[in-house]
């Protein structure tokens, strides 16, 4: 994680003025895994703003794009397009290896070794840097959670960017 001293002046100014909010949820939206990992169906969720070449990119709007993209499990990770619009982090790492933000290949390896039971048929990508997350929290994130429940997903790995 970068320190303020390592950030450019525009990023430091943005961070100083950013309207950070604290959201509390009761109960905490986490649960114990009720089965062994090698019996579990797992999905991945990222905030890297990834989409497939066939999907439209995320909107580059100041308040952030609250939508999500379904990423099929059989996608070639190297074909994913990162359309994250934040300039607050170095995009070079995720552009060099998309598995850093959506580790599909690594999880496929874990399934192959029997560490994880199976991967879900779809995963989800959101856009990070959403200044006002109310719509995300009330509409799009619950919709993605509903879809994951419908798919019978037991565990989700979130890779925030």
- Which tens digit of pLDDT belongs to each residue from 131-149? 778 888 899 999 999 999 9
* Residue 118 banded pLDDT, cuts 50, 70, 90: very high
pLDDT of 1 > 60? The answer is no
pLDDT at 144: 97
pLDDT of 153 > 70? The answer is yes
Tokens of 28: 């905490």
Q: Regarding predicted confidence, which is higher, 59 or 118?
A: 118
Contact 134, 55 (CB under 8 A): no
Mean pLDDT of the chain: 87
* DSSP code, position 106: H
pLDDT at 156: 96
Q: Please, is 98 exposed, middle or buried when counting C-beta atoms within 10 Å of its C-beta (0-12, 13-18, 19+)?
A: buried
Which of 28-32, 34-38, 72-76, 116-120 shows the lowest mean pLDDT across its residues?
A: 28-32
pLDDT of 83 > 60? The answer is yes
Q: How far is 87 from 34, CA to CA, in rounded Å?
A: 40
Q: Regarding predicted confidence, which is higher, 24 or 119?
A: 119
pLDDT at 27: 66
* Residue 6 banded pLDDT, cuts 50, 70, 90: confident
pTM of the model: 0.84
């Amino acid at each position: 994680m970068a320190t303020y001293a390592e950030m450019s002046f525009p990023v430091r100014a943005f961070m100083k003025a950013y309207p950070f909010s604290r959201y509390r949820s009761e109960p905490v939206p986490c649960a114990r895994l009720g089965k062994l990992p090698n019996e579990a169906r797992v999905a991945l969720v990222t905030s890297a703003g990834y989409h497939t070449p066939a999907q439209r990119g995320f909107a580059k709007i100041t308040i952030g794009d609250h939508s999500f993209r379904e990423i099929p499990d059989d996608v070639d990770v190297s074909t994913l397009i990162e359309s994250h619009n934040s300039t607050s982090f170095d995009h070079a790492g995720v552009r060099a290896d998309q598995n850093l933000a959506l580790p599909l290949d690594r999880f496929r390896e874990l399934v192959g070794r029997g560490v994880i039971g199976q991967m879900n048929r779809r995963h989800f990508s959101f856009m990070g840097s959403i200044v006002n997350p109310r719509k995300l929290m009330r509409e799009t994130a619950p919709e993605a959670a509903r879809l994951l429940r419908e798919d019978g997903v037991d565990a989700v790995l979130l890779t925030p960017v």
